[in-house]
Structure 1
């Protein structure tokens, strides 16, 4: 049986929107098979060998639960409460114990040096303050711990993809909880003070052109 613990604290800086919240919960549930096919090879590599206790930023509807061993505990940082019911259902299906916190990634609320692994996918594009989020990740990681990520990023300057990312920036951000297609997350990760950062840049073939440029990798505390 999966244990579910819901933190009742409101997520500072996050607005529970009556339209966007339910839409994103339904959208990512419907898109999970497609996203799994597109991002699965990198996730399988980056999330391989996860331990029995993992912190995840922006767990959403539970797309990454399949990479945890059965019986593991996931501390899920997910401020969008409209995601929570689907996330709990997914945890039950995968046999994962769930500690669900409605905090934001900028204020994780866990003790210093309390985690061996933090993971994220398609999350750093949405946080309000990327440096503050990465500082929180470093704060809670034990020495030698890892932050494992699969994220979409800005395309190269002057490319058609970058032009489209710029054109759709405002409606895209409004629809997807502040998501930006134009962030240099590789630069942010390398500047965050980790001991080392291993990053692979790659492109997926998707008709959703602004979403096609990605990075995946591991940052070592």
Structure 2
């Protein structure tokens, strides 16, 4: 376990997830592209990203931009660096967790995340950290998967697969009410859209995308 981050890279899961998202990223992106294009439109020249992974969101940054990437899974780092170089994005890679980014107060114009708040240990603490690092008028733009409605087959499947899903995907939970957490996190305004994708990973298909403003 890293003393700095408190995140331990599992010798099997860490490399597996790096390889999985490298291979499956384009497939996942097909389902999410329209929502990402909406919420990531007009990003500034410097962006903080929580859980940058292998660089799925680099395509939404202009060439010459700077990405401050908060990514504690070192197995992702090589692919992320290579992707940033291909996209012409300057990469400032921080081996830290989203709860403790180490960034200055009120210093960022925009923070982004996609498919990250499901995996963090304390999503409320992450949202408090986002508010701390954003300048007044800054934006947190997110695309995340969430719990399905109670009583639905999807929610039953999310519950049934809770443990193996979390073990495989670095603690990922399909049962978090992230919309409720975002609305209660103290942002000045939260605009989000719930939607459903129709992919093969059914527990992952209920999602939200939106923008929170400080």
Please give the residue correspondences for 1:113-192 in structure 2 after superposition, counting only pairs within 5 Å.
113-192=106-185
Unmatched tracts of structure 2, length 5 or more: none
- The alignment's TM-score, normalised by the length of structure 2, stands at 0.98
Q: Deviations over 1:35-62 (max 9, x none)?
A: 1101000000100011100000000000
Number of residue equivalences? 213
Change (3 A) 1:54 1:10: farther
- The alignment's TM-score, normalised by the length of structure 1, stands at 0.95
CA distance in 1, matches of 2:65, 2:5: 28
Correspondence for 2:90 among 69, 94, 97:
97
Q: Deviations over 1:86-136 (max 9, x none)?
A: 000000000000000010000010000010000000000000001100000
Classify the secondary structure of the residue corresponding to 2:191: strand
1:32 to partner: Cα distance: 1.1
Correspondence for 2:28 among 26, 35, 59:
35
**4+ runs of 1 displaced by more than 6 Å?**
none
CA distance in 2, matches of 1:12, 1:78: 10
Classify the secondary structure of the residue corresponding to 2:27: helix
CA distance in 2, matches of 1:134, 1:188: 8
1:207 to partner: Cα distance: 1.7
CA contact (8 A) 1:201 1:214 kept: yes
Unmatched tracts of structure 1, length 5 or more: 1-8
Q: CA RMSD in A?
A: 0.8
Correspondence for 2:44 among 30, 48, 51:
51
